[in-house]
């Protein structure tokens, strides 16, 4: 039997005998690693060479086919595996990319299988999928699921079969790293460390998760990074779906036996900001700026010089780097460095970098930290993972799960369990969160992603923004999907002055809300009068609790006294630099310097964590009563990501080789902007993973184009100005880089006056509908429309999108 590079602890690859026992015609136990071919040099009369076997490690660390294996594998001998023999259409290395295999039905349906000295097989097998020749078409994933589902119990076999090698030659190299296996590993760890925060019913449903790829090509990593972003994001989306399914079971009595996560759509989710378009124009197209209301009030995005006040630069000490960040107003950061607020004569990308970096290089990290503290700016040193772990804040974060769902101490079960809203009348599967009312007070990406995800599960989400606060204009096209948007100025009036109309409107909305999402710096909403304590007092008066969901940069607020950086401001790049993520990225690129990874992946991952927490808080409010405080942060997400380790070195080497192409990704340095990093990464991914992108001939801005899709296939193992755009890179990503139709939803947006194309939701849940029914609209658009009566803002919500067929048969429904 072929050996693996990843042996069990304590095992060796030299001079080691293989042992196991044959128990029936086609079930074996042997020491092995999953999905291997027996070459002629490994021999035993009962195990023919060049046959294919699917193995389950006795360690129980993997979660294949949606089944937790601990109970089964605990009965196996140490360092053994449960091995299933099945027939393949061709004699070639199976690896982890085989999509379908032909299984002789005699194995599961007509024979009495005996396992060791234990009882015979007594279960029946669902014959769905049997073809006319008496064979079943099953994926590897469904094979394990079908087999283990019908075992009554497993009795340890007696070792009897010995495999020996007739050659000292090295065994075949291990197959390419499996995204699905990595996702299940991440999901298992996530569930374990969050088990005190999440309902048991939600954790139990993770057993039904299936990782699949709508293109059939998705069981691989293809982002140019050593970080396990794809796997972690898929695991979090799986946990989100499992929690939504648990809500449905409690609310409707619906039993959700299948949950599907599409790894292709998870990839699209992680780069949403770069593949969302308005009438075919993406983020890098200078024309799109005229189509979006200008929320860049301080020109921190539209003027390249000011934009580069948020960037990573080297410092006075060689080998030390600091990420300054002017947030959405560059004035303070530029002035604290002794630089002018405006340099209209300076437009060249590289000249701007050199000019600002020369100012940063006058200071040490300690001096920059003091300047940032004095001016309350969002800057941090770029630390390695080890350095971050050694800080008091790093140690505090290590003691916390990535998300927390805790009772509000001022309404700790004082209010009774909250009944679910009456679902709207109509046929077809329901949404998990129909009738749930959400107030979202957030900007940029991570916080609004929470509301976007809740809207996809049917919640009514009102995004509340202030007309005097800036935001990044383009992001509204994507993160505002599914919501209504209003402008309210929530600043308290001067002492002795009556409450303002906007605050009265917000109070009326709050009176009926179920969830409040807070994406601002810790304490900002409290200073406006809307703290968790205030929400608890409202809950006691109305007799129904609130779910308060806070997302920030550093984490630890109200959770650990040692989280010394909890109140610091920050953004995605700040979290990536302080936790070691940027150093890991730079070293992967062959550099002795940090580089911020491509795409705002930490933003999207953190937003997904927040949606899990919100769902869990709603479920616990319904079953236990009280109000709930849910928290997550960019740093907590990054800490969980780094705790899993980087992808194997062999996989990193493959990714480096594949991305070393004409896109020029490996020409990037520490001081390149996040936009430049993202643009080059997107071009490279078009080369490396073409199945995620449409050809220019198939790319369309008409709604009909989103109806086309690729057949789904289970995975093995279960705006800126023209000057800034031109100087940084070519102004527009080629049309051929548009995301593939099966990944995207598109519809006309009345708010933006054009067709928006944005990523579909990555999850499907049996018996539930998942997906958006209204397009994004600009911040404050519903206020502009004249919706003035707060009581009516929760009623009569329109639907912009007619559900379209997708690869599962119907938009958002898994049958």
Domain membership of residue 331 (yes or no) is no
- Separation CA 341–CA 329 (nearest Å): 10
**How many other β-carbons are positioned within 10 Å of the β-carbon of residue 507?**
14
Same structural domain for residues 126 and 263? no
Domain membership of residue 198 (yes or no) is no
* Secondary structure (DSSP) of 798-809: ---------TTS
* Secondary structure (DSSP) of 763-792: EEEBT-B-S-SS----TTHHHHTT---GGG
- Separation CA 576–CA 14 (nearest Å): 41
Low-confidence ranges of the chain (pLDDT < 70): 1-175, 695-737, 784-788, 801-815
Domain membership of residue 93 (yes or no) is yes
Same structural domain for residues 253 and 149? no
Do 381 and 320 contact (CB within 8 A), yes or no? yes
Partnered with residue 22 across adjacent β-strands are 28
Same structural domain for residues 414 and 520? yes
Domain membership of residue 209 (yes or no) is no
Same structural domain for residues 460 and 562? yes
Instruction: Tell me the CATH number at 787.
Output: 3.40.50.10540
Q: What b-and-e string marks burial along 482-492, b requiring 16 or more CB atoms within 10 Å of the CB?
A: bbbbbbbebee
Same structural domain for residues 564 and 446? yes
pTM exceeding the 0.75 threshold for the entire prediction: yes
Specify the pLDDT at position 754.
96
Specify the pLDDT at position 60.
31
Same structural domain for residues 457 and 566? yes
- Separation CA 48–CA 38 (nearest Å): 7
Q: Residue 771: which of 430, 271, 281 has the closest Cα? A: 430
Same structural domain for residues 256 and 160? no
**How many other β-carbons are positioned within 10 Å of the β-carbon of residue 283?**
26
Same structural domain for residues 109 and 256? no
Map 209-249 to HEC letters. EEEEECCCCCCCCCCCCCCCHHHHHHHHHHHHHHHHHHHHH
Domain membership of residue 224 (yes or no) is no
Same structural domain for residues 43 and 148? yes
Domain membership of residue 356 (yes or no) is no
Specify the pLDDT at position 391.
98
Do 618 and 515 contact (CB within 8 A), yes or no? yes
Number of domains in the chain: 2
Do 450 and 612 contact (CB within 8 A), yes or no? no
Which among 141, 165, 189 is the end of a domain? 165
Domain membership of residue 332 (yes or no) is no
Q: How would you class 497 by CB atoms within 10 Å of its CB: exposed for 0-12, middle for 13-18, buried for 19 or more?
A: exposed
Radius of gyration of the chain (CA): 27
Specify the pLDDT at position 695.
56
Which among 115, 138, 165 is the end of a domain? 165
Domain membership of residue 413 (yes or no) is yes
Domain boundaries, position 48: 18-165
Q: How would you class 581 by CB atoms within 10 Å of its CB: exposed for 0-12, middle for 13-18, buried for 19 or more?
A: buried
């Amino acid at each position: 039997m072929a050996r693996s590079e990843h042996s069990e602890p304590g095992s060796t690859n030299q001079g080691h005998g293989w042992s196991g026992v044959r128990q029936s015609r086609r079930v074996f136990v042997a020491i092995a690693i999953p999905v291997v071919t027996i070459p002629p040099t490994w021999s035993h009369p009962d195990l023919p060479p060049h046959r294919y076997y699917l193995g389950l490690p006795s360690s129980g660390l993997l979660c294949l086919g949606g089944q937790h294996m601990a109970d089964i594998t605990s009965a196996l001998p140490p360092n053994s595996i449960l091995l299933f023999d099945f027939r393949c259409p061709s004699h070639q290395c199976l690896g982890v990319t085989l999509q379908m295999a032909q299984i002789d039905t005699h194995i599961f349906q007509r024979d009495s299988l005996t396992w060791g000295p234990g009882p015979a097989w007594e279960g029946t097998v669902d014959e769905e999928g049997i073809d006319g020749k008496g064979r079943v078409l099953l994926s590897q994933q469904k094979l394990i699921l079908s087999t283990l589902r019908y075992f009554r119990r497993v009795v340890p076999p007696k070792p009897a079969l010995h495999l020996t090698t007739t050659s000292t030659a090295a065994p075949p190299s291990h197959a390419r790293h499996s995204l699905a296996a990595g996702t299940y590993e991440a999901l298992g760890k996530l569930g374990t460390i969050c088990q005190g925060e999440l309902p048991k019913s939600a954790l139990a449903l993770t057993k039904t998760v299936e990782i699949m790829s709508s293109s059939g090509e998705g069981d691989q990593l293809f982002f140019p990074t050593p970080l396990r972003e794809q796997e972690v994001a898929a695991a979090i989306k799986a946990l989100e779906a499992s929690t939504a399914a648990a809500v449905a079971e409690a609310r409707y009595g619906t039993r959700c036996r299948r949950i599907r996560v599409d790894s292709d759509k998870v990839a699209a989710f992680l780069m949403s900001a770069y593949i969302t378009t308005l009438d075919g124009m993406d983020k890098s197209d200078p024309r799109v700026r005229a189509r979006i209301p200008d929320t860049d009030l301080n020109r921190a995005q539209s003027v390249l010089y000011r934009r580069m006040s948020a960037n990573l630069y080297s410092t006075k000490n060689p080998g030390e780097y600091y990420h300054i960040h002017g947030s959405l107003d560059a004035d303070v950061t530029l002035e604290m460095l002794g630089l002018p607020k405006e340099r209209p004569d300076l437009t060249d990308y590289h000249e701007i970098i050199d000019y600002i970096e020369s100012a940063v290089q006058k200071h040490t990290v300690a001096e920059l930290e003091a300047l940032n503290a004095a001016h309350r700016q969002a800057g941090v040193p770029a630390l390695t993972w080890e350095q971050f772990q050694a800080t008091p804040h790093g140690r505090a974060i290590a003691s916390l799960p990535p998300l927390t769902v805790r009772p509000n101490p001022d309404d700790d079960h004082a209010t009774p369990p909250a009944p679910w809203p009456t679902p709207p009348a109509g046929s077809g599967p329901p949404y998990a969160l129909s009738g749930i009312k959400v107030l979202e007070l957030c900007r940029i990406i991570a916080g609004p992603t929470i509301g976007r995800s809740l809207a996809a599960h049917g919640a009514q989400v009102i995004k509340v923004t202030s007309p005097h606060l800036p935001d990044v204009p383009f992001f509204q096209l994507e993160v505002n999907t599914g919501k209504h948007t209003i402008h309210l100025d929530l600043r308290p009036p001067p002492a002795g002055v009556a409450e303002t109309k906007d605050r009265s409107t917000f109070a009326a909305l709050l009176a009926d809300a179920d969830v409040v999402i807070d994406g601002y710096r810790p304490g900002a909403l409290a200073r406006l009068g809307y703290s968790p304590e205030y929400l608890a007092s409202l809950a006691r008066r109305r007799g129904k609790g609130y779910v308060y969901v806070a997302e920030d940069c550093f984490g630890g607020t109200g959770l650990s006294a040692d989280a010394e950086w909890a109140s610091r401001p920050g953004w995605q790049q700040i979290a990536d630099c302080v936790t070691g993520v940027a150093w890991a990225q730079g070293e992967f690129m062959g550099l002795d310097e940090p580089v911020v990874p491509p795409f705002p992946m930490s933003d999207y991952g953190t937003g997904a964590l927040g949606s899990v927490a919100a769902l869990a808080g709603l479920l616990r409010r319904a079953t236990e009563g009280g109000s709930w405080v849910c928290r997550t942060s960019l740093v907590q997400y990054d800490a969980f990501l780094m705790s899993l380790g980087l992808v194997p070195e062999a996989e990193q080497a493959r990714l480096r080789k594949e991305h070393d192409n004409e896109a020029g990704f490996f020409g990037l340095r520490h001081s390149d902007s996040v936009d430049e990093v993202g643009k080059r990464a997107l071009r490279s991914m078009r080369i490396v993973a073409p199945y995620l992108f449409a050809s220019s001939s198939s790319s369309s801005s008409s709604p009909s184009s989103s109806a086309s899709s690729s057949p789904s296939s289970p995975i093995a193992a279960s705006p800126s100005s023209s000057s800034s755009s031109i100087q940084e890179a070519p102004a527009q990503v080629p049309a051929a880089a548009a995301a593939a139709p099966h990944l995207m939803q598109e519809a006309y947006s009345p708010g933006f006056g054009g067709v928006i194309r944005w990523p579909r939701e990555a999850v499907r849940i049996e018996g539930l509908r998942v997906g958006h029914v209204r397009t994004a609209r600009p911040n404050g658009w519903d206020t502009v429309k004249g919706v003035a009566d707060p009581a009516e803002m929760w009623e009569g919500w329109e639907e912009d999108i007619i559900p379209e067929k997708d690869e599962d048969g119907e938009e958002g429904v898994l049958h």
